[in-house]
Structure 1
Amino acid sequence: MSAQELLAVTRKEEIPFQVLLASLSRSRATAYRALKPIVLTETDSQKCSRAAHPRALSPAEVAEVAKVLNSEKFVDKAPQAIFNVLLDQGVFICSVRTMYRILDAQGAVAERRQVARSRSFRAPELLATGPNQVWSWDISKLRAHSKWTYFYLYVVMDIFSRKIVGWAVYLQETGTLAEAVISKAAKEEKIKPGQLTIHSDRGGPMRSKTLSELFSDLSISKSFSRPHVSNDNPFSESMFKTIKYMPTFPDRFGTVQEARNFMSKFVKWYNEEHRHSGLEYYTPDDIHTGSHVEKKRNRDSVLAEAYLRNPIRFVNGTPSASLAPEAVWINKPKMEEQAKTC
């Protein structure tokens, strides 16, 4: 859609032009330039043309340098090498940088070696507006009884409610064990085909064939973090930090059963009692079951009664309890933020 067409839309719908551009991720400068193009007269063009710099090579000299660079003797050599070979022969034709500029103008500057190219990965963008739409899962090491010995903690959580929907502690880190944890969680939460997206990092168990087959069987969409970007899986990272910063979390676990006993108590406390700051101090179970709606009404009722008893203490009128988030993102698109600020 051209800038003129966008302008017509803003007039018809009464939308500010800048807001429309932001929602479409269009550059304001480009749009305004298209609306008022600069027309150069012949005199203006003459003023804009620059005289050749006194240190610049003449066209004849440029042609001579290009001939040397493309000669059979130097065609496969780097400009720096050519420059020094010519110096050893008592010849100076131009600087190394000028050689590069001449070659670049001819499209002759490129990487010719067979080198590995890094793949570019797009940041995952996931939105949850209710429970059991997006899960995040990961595996973390728990230090065991002796040095360099670990137990492996598997945790699956719902990013909307922050509820831990599945967990286990094993002696190994494998895709088969991960499949068992996620399969059990999906069964307990009664996940329907096409309902769920599961996000994780790119570890071996996460990309295992066993887990991929489970996702295919249950019609679960899978999402992965970008390589070496821990911020792409923030909910799992935050969960493990919460676990390991608990006052009762031991430095080491003597047995795998000891680790399981600890996690069993933690999960019950976290899901049913923990007042989560990101949930406006409702518990994960409150959000997951929807009981936070009734609890908000109760909070509002208590605040309203407090206001009626002492209205002078509430300078902004009748207070109300905070609402729990209606949407939770992993990597919220920047376009949304731009439209919000306009």
Structure 2
Amino acid sequence: MSTAIAAAVDDAVGELVPLVGAKAGCAAVGVARASFYRARPAGKATAAPSPEPERKPQVQPRALSEAERAAVLEVLHSKRFADAAPATVYATLLDEGTYLASESTMYRLLRERGETGDRRRHATHPAKVKPELVAASPNQVWSWDITKLAGPAKWTYYYLYLILDIFSRYPVGWMVASRESATLAERLIAETVRKQQADRNQLTLHADRGSSMASKPVAFLLADLGVTKSHSRPHCSNDNPYSEAQFKTLKYRPDFPDRFGCIEDARVFCDRFFAWYAHDHRHSGIGLHTPADVHYGRAHTVSEARGRVLDAAHAAHPERFVRKPPQSPKLPAAAWINKPQDKEEPTQ
């Protein structure tokens, strides 16, 4: 590029650079930017475009005034419409012959204040009371529940109803039926109370919130028998631990089948199991006594007999017992459902 042409390009583009910038100036003249920069004398800086004047925000003539915005918000926040959606407010006001703003404007005003979420006042329910039950002797607190036993075909079940004394772990009543029914539960409870000769206002019956447990027939029966009813909190199996643990013992037995061939098979199995559980099973939760011994008051006699055997063993070989003479496990003095933290459980 000759010197004259270079000077002409520099002058032409140089006049445009302060106004539109180097890129737009070169495009207007039809010169590549590289040619423009080569043609400029060394040390000559390109003048920076003048800053654009700050534009003042234009007021939209259709916008609501501050007074009108405040009036719309006052209506939206009023007691009448505090729980209503803007669409409902808009339609209600139209039906009453009033127009304050469009539905979208109502949403926009609420959005500016972070109030476009669920505007309803949600009802709050008090938490269910945590059951705290204690039994210091048999027939004070019973726990009952129903579990399924798989039948001969898929989706067929038999239902085991079980009432357990939480102090002795003795199965005071049980039944295998083909269905879950409040009427059957009512019959089993009545027969068990009669068989155990429980006095009025002596017994508390605890259960979860199944349909049979919370049914009105069962509630009316318990009121007639003078039995206090107690229920677990919703979806909280820990509030009924004794029945849950007993069902686990049942279903983890080596001879527990995958399926029962018929309801008679289930009844025969349960009859054999509960006889073993009540009279032969040494339960760790009751000092390794059988539930029948604890329930019928024979545990102390058994414990004394155990003590005499251990005393004889210690007398024969004291060197084998370094720390202290051997003792049989103690029978807990009380059984709790949700024992409070500040309660100490004595032993006897």
TM over 0.5: yes
Q: Is the 8 A contact 1:225 1:232 kept in 2?
A: yes
> What does residue 292 of structure 1 align with?
299
Q: Please tell me the residue identity of whatever aligns with 1:143.
A: A
Q: Kindly state the Cα deviation for residue 117 of structure 1 after the two structures are TM-superposed.
A: 3.7
Residue 82 of structure 2 corresponds to residue 73 of structure 1: no
- Determine the C-alpha separation between the residues in 1 that align with 2:254 and 2:68: 70
SS state at 2:342 partner = helix
| Partner deviation per Cα, 1:19-66 (whole Å, 9 max, x = no partner) | xxxxxxxxxxxxxxxxxxxxxxxxxxxxxxxxxxxxxxxxxxxxxxxx
| Counterpart in the other structure of 1:17 | none
1:135 aligned partner, one-letter code: W
Q: Which runs of 4+ in 1 moved over 3 A?
A: 67-70, 81-88, 114-119
1:5 match: none
Kindly state the Cα deviation for residue 281 of structure 1 after the two structures are TM-superposed.
0.9
How many Å separate the matches in 2 of 1:69 and 1:223? Answer: 59
Q: Does the alignment pair 1:315 with 2:322?
A: yes
* Consecutive unaligned residues in structure 1, runs of 5 or more: 1-66, 89-94, 101-109
**Highest RCO, 1 vs 2 (Cα 8 Å, sep ≥ 6):** 1
Aligned to 2:155: 148
SS in 2 for 1:335: coil
Selected match of 1:234 from 228, 241, 264? 241
Shift of 1:128: 0.3
1:1-342 equivalences under 5 Å are 71-75=70-74, 76=76, 85=108, 113=120, 115=122, 117-336=124-343
CA distance in 2 between partners of 1:211 and 1:336 (Å): 32
Q: Pick closer, same or farther for the CA change 1:175–1:307 going to 2, 3 Å.
A: same
Report the alpha carbon displacement of residue 68 of structure 1 after superposing the two structures with TM: 8.7
Paired residues in the alignment total: 255
Distance 1:311 1:253, change over 3 A: same
Identity %: 45
- Tell me the CA shift for residue 161 of structure 1: 0.2
2:293 maps to a residue whose letter is D
User: Who wins on radius of gyration, i.e. which is larger?
Assistant: 2
CA root-mean-square deviation:
3.0
**2:191 aligns to what SS in structure 1?**
helix
TM-score (norm 1): 0.68
Q: Give the C-alpha shift of residue 85 in structure 1.
A: 3.3
Q: CA deviation at 1:260?
A: 0.5
Quote the offset at 1:241 in angstroms.
Answer: 0.7
Q: Retained in 2: the 8 A contact 1:134–1:199?
A: yes
- Code of the aligned partner of 2:159: Y
* C-alpha contact (below 8 Å) 1:154/1:167 kept by paired residues: yes
Partners of 2:169 and 2:68 lie apart in 1 by 64
What is residue 10 of structure 2 aligned with on the other side?
A: none
Tell me by how many angstroms 1:266 deviates.
0.5
CA drift at 1:262: 0.5
Structure 1 residues 74 and 334, CA gap change in structure 2 (3 angstroms): same
Go from structure 1 to structure 2 and tell me whether the alpha carbon gap of 1:212 and 1:310 turns closer, same or farther (over 3 Å shift): same
Letter in 2 for 1:177: L
SS in 2 for 1:206: coil
Q: Distance in 2 between matches of 1:160 and 1:71?
A: 68
Gaps in structure 2 of 5+ consecutive residues:
1-65, 83-103
Equivalence for 1:7? none
Q: Deviations over 1:192-220 (max 9, x none)?
A: 11110000001111111211121011100
Residues 85 and 248 (structure 1), Cα distance of their counterparts in 2 relative to 1, 3 Å cut: same
| Aligned mates of 1:317, 1:70 — CA distance in 2 | 86
CA contact (8 A) 1:68 1:74 kept: no
Moved more, 294-303 or 315-324: 315-324
Task: Quote the Cα distance in structure 2 between the aligned partners of 1:72 and 1:197.
Answer: 61
